Structure 1
């Protein structure tokens, strides 16, 4: 009985700390995004960094105070969780939608003329990436629409999960681009934090996802095979034969 009680308390504390830290980290990322470049007069770097430090400190201290008050029945944890979850959703939506609007107003994927004139082998991975994405204005707008619409979907509980999944697919892709194409540290940090944030929102409904993706069978009609080995062999052949085809095509290239 004592072991079960201790486990429940530990889980409760870890959940509080985890939720609070997620809000603290995504809010810190938002502050850094707002203060990037020092373009906003009332949000200079000298103010942004102390605010980030206070936010992260508060994210660590608050759950301890919260848990202390909860044990004394002086706080409504359900309301606190509601506030934290809503805060996470709002901050992520604001942050990622901001990146979307920047694309509409030509504040992203813009390469200076002196950089664009350089040979490709003299440009950094970051400028090559921006030049590539900026080559098609339509493609940039499509990404922007996904970011804005995905952020909007986060703001409603009914569409929270689908919005999180859409944004996770986009953000995980952007994170890999930021890593392997040597984008600046700020862009990488933003993509990593936002990816973790939407993944956190997805995992809140992980039981639904397990049922949907792993326990729900498709209604599509299929071929009936009594021999399981033959059925699995046909499945594997799609991958193996495509590999053999590629090897054959490669052998024709001299």
Structure 2
């Protein structure tokens, strides 16, 4: 039997609350117009801006997109606060975290990339812990 099944419920609760707090913070920052660059695009090019700033410029090109990504972090984070919706919230945040981790490593963000990887792993831990729910969704009821 895997260690995730035997993980104490208090440990899982701490991971749920931690991921809910972290992704709520990131989601709210994006929703309220932070993190991405929404300013003037004059005199900015690949030759004058480093790669990480260029990514923030790209995402900030559309304020709507920047805020929607915040919503996509905030809603699943809130879902982690309720036991009945933890699995769906954790699965959504795992996918979102995987995308963020890939982006952070691809564009060589500083130490933040390792935090993103950790958050992704922790969301994955929550998904694996509740994998029985996934099995129930795809179970053949005829058996």
Fold in common (TM above 0.5): yes
List alignment gaps of at least 5 residues for structure 2.
none
Which residue does 1:107 correspond to in 2?
34
Q: Secondary structure at the match of 2:84?
A: coil
Which structure has more relative contact order (CA 8 Å, sep 6+)? It is 2
Shift of 1:216: 4.6
Cα RMSD after superposing both structures: 2.7
How many residues align structurally?
141
Query: Which structure has the larger Rg?
Result: 1
Which residue does 1:88 correspond to in 2?
15
Shift of 1:112: 7.5
Aligned-partner Cα distance in 1 for 2:38–2:111:
18
List alignment gaps of at least 5 residues for structure 1.
1-7, 20-80, 218-254
Which residue does 1:97 correspond to in 2?
24
- Which structure 2 residues correspond to residues 85-164 of structure 1 after superposition, within 5 A? 85-110=12-37, 117-164=43-90
Q: TM-score, normalised by structure 2?
A: 0.83
Aligned-partner Cα distance in 2 for 1:118–1:134:
13
- Change in 2 beyond 3 A, CA 1:121/1:98: same
Which residue does 2:123 correspond to in 1?
198
Q: Is the 8 A contact 2:4 2:125 kept in 1?
A: no
Aligned-partner Cα distance in 1 for 2:68–2:38:
19
